[in-house]
Amino acid sequence: MNGAGAERVGAALRTLDLWVDTLTQGVAALLVVVETVILFTGVIWRYVLDSPLIWTDEVAETLFLWLVSLGAVIALRRGEHMRMTMVVNRLGPRLERLAGRFSGLIVAVVALGLLGPGTIYAAQQGAILTPVLEIPGSWMIYGQLVALVLLVYVALRRLLEGTTLRELAIVLGTGAAVALVLWALEPVFDALGNADLLIFFIGIVSVCIFFGVPIAFSFAISTFGYIWFTTPMPLSVVIGQMDQGMAGIELLAVPMFVVLGLLLEMTGIARALVDLLAALIGHRRGGLSYVLIVAMYLISGISGSKAADQAAVAPVLVPEMRRRGYIPGELAAQLAASAAMSETIPPSLVLIIVGAVTGVSTAALFTGGLLPAALAALGLAILVFFRSRGDRSQGTRATWRAAGRYFVIAIPALILPLVIRYAVLDGITTAVEVATVGVVYSILIGIGVYRCFDVRRIVPILVETAALTGAILFIIGSASAMGYSLTQAGFAQVLADFMAAMPGGAIGFMAISIVVFVVLGSVLEGLPAMVLFGPLLFPIAQRFGINLVQYALVAILAMGIGLFSPPFGVGFYQSCLFVKVSSDEAFACIWPYMAILLVALIVVAAVPWISVGFLE
């Protein structure tokens, strides 16, 4: 192809890219708005007008899968799917490029491999109608099929854009060689029995994750390969299980709380809370560290998202902490530790997802999660007290008049977490709907009280919500398919027998569970680990007589410690980005804080009352 022809092809592809971005982002942003309006309307009609709308859940659930599917495309386009980059970043430029091409190939194979079975599954679901509006079940699946086509396009663009023929040959040749080897080993897999699980769900998953393939697609390709090469099951099982994993109406809380978290910073609510805390205790030695811990505790009770919590607090506090001479590495360590501490504070997305995948009452998790987080926060505060004894960088003490003014300004912000908790616990809203109440409240407060509402940021917030929702829910879907395969292979029973045989009874089981969830939280970023292993481990905990609320909170705290601990915990590196400090500088500072959180975790595991005392 001559230069002019190549330029025309490049221009056509750029135009197509623009159309793909405009279509996916525009429709996804609109869906977030529509979902919010539908859920809030349902609350008003049921609670205020006493005339429940029985169709809202059906419409919301149908549109939700479209939102998740388009969000997954946006996340892939923006490189925001959860993945491990620590190993890839140390491979050198050439190998890093090859790993990126390999990742694109995996995504393309998964999407292409699911298109055919997905079409069959959609036809099957077309005969199933919803009970109220009689919406065919295929309407939901069509969103996934559209997304799969777009995922193929985006993945192929990543695979081919800027590549050389040599790189392409290496990647395609390696992929073809792996497929041929697996095909040749089919008789061996039959003889291995459940040992083939190690090849697909440890070997292939580990290789993919360590080479930077997004976690969701690492799970999907291993499940795809396991079913294709070792079982007689049709591949439509994969998309069916993904659909069931993502379709729960309770998971609609994810985008709602992400929107709420992003609105906290834009509407000035987060700044009002931080300013009040700084006026009360910011002048003390180490005072802004206390402010950081308390602010993360309070704001976690509003947003539900750790990324949103950090995005709301860090821009307000970090510049002033730097001005006072705080060590940047220490700032990143404190931000990471306070985020890990707040994982069990309602309405944490992890709490909601744990409730959805394990059947534990979300309301009970909301009530039980406050005290464990408070214990961890107290431990962090004690550590700050001792580490700041030599600190001379104290601020100016605010006058009582100034503190009173900050308190009055912060009253609307202080009311919001109370509104959220009251609405859920008093039965006014469900855990899904309550975020929409917070969204409407935040918008009204931002416009009418704080005069802080930038209309230009609304669309980016909606698109960011869709991308994060797609990234999270696609992991849940692929982990659900993987978990189904493990269950069908008898892994659940093997795991149950192994865990039951551990010495020490309930204590031994709790101890090994802590180790497992810390490791899994670090490697799999928490949510995938809980979706994959929660349904397997929770019945075993119940068999040992452990309260499931306590077990859930212990598992969540353990995953939080893993998520925010180096060298694998991605939350640690995220915290470094917020503080704008190198991870090497923060590496040495993080360990005392993680040690304190580990002590708090052990106390929560040893004393059930901390988790369930307020449930009785």
Q: CA-to-CA distance for 262 and 492, rounded, in angstroms?
A: 39
- The residue-averaged pLDDT of 191-205 equals 80
pLDDT surpassing 90 at residue 340: no
pLDDT bracket for residue 567 (50, 70, 90): low
What region, left, alpha or beta, does residue 490 occupy, with left being phi > 0 and alpha being psi -120 to 50 degrees?
Answer: left
> 293: burial class by Cβ within 10 Å (0-12, 13-18, 19+)?
buried
Higher local confidence (pLDDT), 608 or 525: 608
Look at residues 443, 440, 444, 437 and name the one whose alpha carbon lies nearest to residue 420.
437
pLDDT at 133: 78
DSSP 211-224: TT--HHHHHHHHHH
Q: CA-to-CA distance for 112 and 397, rounded, in angstroms?
A: 62
**Cis bond before residue 347 (omega within 30° of 0):** yes
- The residue-averaged pLDDT of 361-389 equals 85
- The residue-averaged pLDDT of 123-128 equals 82
pLDDT surpassing 90 at residue 603: yes
Q: CA-to-CA distance for 267 and 271, rounded, in angstroms?
A: 9
pLDDT at 512: 86
Tokens of 386: 């001792």
pLDDT bracket for residue 574 (50, 70, 90): low
- The residue-averaged pLDDT of 357-383 equals 86
Q: What is the pTM of this model?
A: 0.76
pLDDT bracket for residue 79 (50, 70, 90): confident
pLDDT surpassing 90 at residue 471: no
Look at residues 285, 271, 541 and name the one whose alpha carbon lies nearest to residue 409.
271
pLDDT at 529: 67
pLDDT tens, position by position, 519-541: 777 765 556 667 767 777 888 88
Q: CB–CB of 249/432 below 8 Å?
A: yes
- The residue-averaged pLDDT of 198-207 equals 83
DSSP 545-569: T--HHHHHHHHHHHHHHHHTSTTT-
pLDDT tens, position by position, 264-313: 778 877 777 777 777 776 666 667 778 788 878 877 766 556 666 666 67
Percent of the chain with pLDDT over 70: 87
Count other C-beta atoms under 10 Å from residue 303's C-beta.
35
pLDDT surpassing 80 at residue 557: yes
Q: CA-to-CA distance for 432 and 39, rounded, in angstroms?
A: 8
pLDDT surpassing 70 at residue 363: yes
Q: Which helix (H) or strand (E) holds 493?
A: helix 491-500
pLDDT tens, position by position, 144-196: 888 889 988 888 888 887 778 888 888 889 889 988 998 888 888 877 777 78
Q: CA-to-CA distance for 362 and 353, rounded, in angstroms?
A: 9
pLDDT at 5: 57
